[in-house]
Each structure stands twice: as C-alpha cells, then as structure tokens.
Amino acid sequence: MYLVKVYVTYKESILDPKGEAVNDALHRLGYTNVQSVVLGKYFELKLAASDRPLDAEVDELCDRLLANVNMETYRYEITEMEAL
C-alpha cells in the first residue's frame, strides 16, 4: 500500500484570485510581511500496488481528473505504508 500526497496549484501565469484574497486578508490582520499566497488543493490517495508503475498511474489520474492541465500544475510525494 502506498500513500500519495498530491498538491495541485495554478500555473504561475494564471491569476489566483482566492490566493490574492487570502493575501489581502493577512495584510489587513497586520501580517504585512506576507509577500504572496498560493491557494491550491491537497489530496491524499491510498493506492494498492498494481502491475503498472505507480508514478505513471498517478500522473495519469492527475492529468485526467485531479488537475486541469490547461491552468493547473501538480506535484506529488509517494511513501510506502507499513502493512497492517
């Protein structure tokens, strides 16, 4: 069993209005040293090993569903979970 942590964020060229709103709110709270905020999505997937390479499968499911590759980018970390 593997734990896959996937982080999806807008590409740098894409406007992130929600991140900007959070950035503005932090400034209003006095955290004026906050330079920027990126607001993305975080997924935890538990995958059983299959006959396919794991990273190929994760790439595919990210491309097909978790991220919209027109405007988003993703990265992930894979860790092997201890058998119960």
Residues that bind other proteins (CB under 8 A): 10, 14-15, 17-18, 20-21, 41, 65-66, 68, 70-71
Phi, psi (deg, nearest 5) at residue 26: -65, -40
User: 15: which DSSP letter?
Assistant: -
Locate the DSSP E strands across the chain: 2-10, 41-47, 72-80
Cβ-based nearer residue to other proteins, 3 or 14? 14
Cβ-based nearer residue to other proteins, 1 or 75? 75
Q: How far is the CB of 66 from other proteins (least distance, A)?
A: 7
